[in-house]
Structure 1
Amino acid sequence: MKMIKLSVVGLGLMGKQHVAAINDHPSCRLASIIDSNDDVRAIAASEGCHFYNNINEALLKTEPDGLIISTPNARHFEDGLTGLKHGIPILVEKPISDSLGHGEELVKFGKKNNLPILTGYHRRHNPIIFDIKKKLDEGVIGKIVAMHGMFWLYKPKDYFDELWRTKQGAGPIYINLSHDIDLMRHFLGEIESVQAVASSAIRGFDVEDTAIAILKFMSGVIGSISISDTVVSPWSYELTSNENPAYHHTTANCYWIGGTEGSIELPKGTFWSHNGKKSWWEPISSTTTVNKKSNPIYNQLDNFVNVILGKEKPLVSGLEGLKTSAVIDAIKRSTVTGIFEKPRF
């Protein structure tokens, strides 16, 4: 198989995970690391690849087959468009852009020039997500009625030493909630409208630290989701999925989906149902799905490689990323207007 050369722009938390996945993949090699921080030069040297401060120079000199963009949200559009203008398929960390208009422009440019765009909603690449999606589509819990999700965890003070994380374009709605919304769209279909309230009462930054949203799905499902990065708790995907060893693994869940024949807790995959008559007076029992653990960042990279080779389609395309961003945009608008808002895509 042809060795695929990949460049990574932005060596923050996610950039380092992408580099590790590239090193583990038998069909990839790291062409270059691009970062505005000169301290990253030493890391690039230890990885045996080129280092550049300038993305255009890097792409011209190393001619990668694909570009992974893991810069701060505000740079996703500019860096993504630069990659596409060089004729290179891109994998953009979520959100696809901090501006819905820029996200649309990026998707349209990729489509016009037949250049694949992948959005980094890596949770869809987790085997348990495949399994749960299949079971929901098969009607295991009957007609789906409602859902609830939680993202509660505590980010320490030094997390915010990167000042962009305290400014508009950041905040847990953009940085974290987009993952949860993407999974709910994946499981339950498109979202018709949202209503939300947000607060920055604890940290006082320009962006929220806590929010709650009501979700109305086109299918008739209704849902709610609560998010905070200043609450000490086990109820977040990061702490419950065991995807990333950087996070302490708990036995809790963070999503609940209920139907007329049963309910499911995620990400553990616990199904609840009555063995006989359905009634709140009757016994109810559970079974738990067991899936082989695998790294969704690696699985996502494998999809990117096969997209570059023309063997697969993106599991999470630029358009899918844009649709999730449209829901997030509607949530942000609702935190200002206080009324139900519709996604623009």
Structure 2
Amino acid sequence: MGSIGLRHARLLAESPGVRVAAFDAAPHGLQLPPAVEATLTIVSSFEELLDAAPDALVVATPDALHAPQAIEACRRGITVLVEKPVADSVAAAEELARVAAQSGARVLVGYVLRHYAVLRRVRELLADGAVGTPVSVHVNLGAYETLRVARNRFSETDRYRLPYDYSHEWDYLQWLLGPVAEVAAVARLAGDLPLRQDPNVINGVVAFDSGVTGTFHLDYVQEGQGRRLDVVGDRGTLRADLARGRVTVRAHADALTRSYDCSEERDVAFGRQLSHFLDVARGVAVPLVSVEDGLRALRVADAVVAACDGGGWRSVDVRI
């Protein structure tokens, strides 16, 4: 259990009426908060975890295990929350989608940003026409702290982690603006920070199926900068600081600026995600982020890598 797995375990253990069991293949150095340690059952294998017939399962393992473990849970009819990216390859994600459909098991993907109050407000504002028709978008993400807080350090030979670790961007952009059709991108390993993942800077251009175009910047260099999103429309401009929970909208006609404070602790959004997860397991809700959404985000990440390696524009398959 890395930082996300530990957060899920802690918040689920604090949920009324929920009993939590966990398996960690690398238990050495696992430090659980005392309140969690007192309520969490640790089992000796993944099979033992499934044999306990849980109502729901969180898969927060390394990417290569996401699809195989989620598929096994689906075959047993268990509702699954699989962390992002949904799989380590498009083929594995497509197989998970097929098994989920055949078994009827419900699968959610851990794009928690959709549960952030600030991003929900952005979606509402765009839907209400606050900026008119969107014409352009820009994303800026700085995430050096991801390398710093990781429990299991990334291999220095494991390239292109950035567009997959932060496939959040490909999910929420498509949630807000529709399918991505094409991308172009460049990447490099820059600077001399103590922790480096190759590449640690990616810049690119994105074209949506709707005709909206924009740019993105992702890096493992900035610390404390978080996420920023700008949307330009024909009637105004929206700027969102997703890390700090603030949104401003400036109307072109009268230069009037409206501000929204949607700040909240990260646990609130994660708790909202897990509450939704439990509702899906109980059969009273449908997944907000489906396995198909995870597949769409993974295809964009693959296209970004292909563009970085081969140059030019790369098409994204929008079919499901």
Q: Structure 2 length normalisation: TM-score?
A: 0.88
Alignment of 1:148 onto 2:146: no
1:40–1:34: structure 2 CA closer, same or farther, 3 Å change rule?
farther
- Partner letter of residue 238 of structure 2? I
Superposition pairs for residues 121-270 of structure 1, below 5 Å? Answer: 121-155=111-145, 159=149, 162-168=152-158, 171-176=161-166, 178-202=167-191, 207-232=198-223, 234-237=224-227, 254-266=228-240, 267=242, 268-270=246-248
User: What is the match of residue 42 of structure 2?
Assistant: 51
Q: Give 1:78 shift.
A: 2.0
SS at match of 2:262: coil
Structure 1: stretches of 5+ with no match in the other structure: 1-10, 238-253, 277-283
Matched-pair contact (CA < 8 Å) for 1:37–1:53: no
In 2: Cα distance, 1:133 partner to 1:206 partner? 32
Deviation by residue 1:180-206 (Cα, 9 ceiling, x = unmatched)? 121111111111100111112446967
In 2: Cα distance, 1:157 partner to 1:214 partner? 25
Deviation by residue 1:16-43 (Cα, 9 ceiling, x = unmatched)? 110122123224221x111112337774
1:166–1:78: structure 2 CA closer, same or farther, 3 Å change rule?
farther
In 1: Cα distance, 2:292 partner to 2:47 partner? 25
**Identity over the aligned pairs, expressed in percent?**
24
Matched-pair contact (CA < 8 Å) for 1:56–1:82: no
- Partner letter of residue 225 of structure 2? W
User: What is the match of residue 299 of structure 2?
Assistant: 326
Bigger Cα displacement from structure 2, 309-318 vs 145-154 = 145-154
1:301 to 257, 274, 296: 274
1:320–1:288: structure 2 CA closer, same or farther, 3 Å change rule?
same
How many residues get paired? 308
SS at match of 2:261: coil
Deviation by residue 1:5-64 (Cα, 9 ceiling, x = unmatched)? xxxxxx11100110122123224221x11111233777498233321242012211x221
Detail structure 1 runs of 4+ shifted over 6 Å in the superposition.
203-206
Superposition pairs for residues 51-90 of structure 1, below 5 Å? Answer: 51-60=42-51, 62-90=52-80
Q: Give 1:272 shift.
A: 0.9
1:106–1:212: structure 2 CA closer, same or farther, 3 Å change rule?
same
2:249 to 271, 276, 282: 271
Deviation by residue 1:206-226 (Cα, 9 ceiling, x = unmatched)? 731110121001111101000
The alignment's C-alpha RMSD in Å is: 2.4
In 1: Cα distance, 2:168 partner to 2:155 partner? 17
1:167–1:315: structure 2 CA closer, same or farther, 3 Å change rule?
farther
Q: Give 1:293 shift.
A: 3.1
Matched-pair contact (CA < 8 Å) for 1:100–1:326: yes
User: What is the match of residue 25 of structure 2?
Assistant: 36
Q: Give 1:331 shift.
A: 0.7
Q: Give 1:260 shift.
A: 0.7
- Partner letter of residue 264 of structure 1? L
Q: Give 1:163 shift.
A: 4.1
Deviation by residue 1:76-125 (Cα, 9 ceiling, x = unmatched)? 12221222233211100000011111011111110111011100000101
- Partner letter of residue 329 of structure 1? D
In 2: Cα distance, 1:20 partner to 1:159 partner? 17
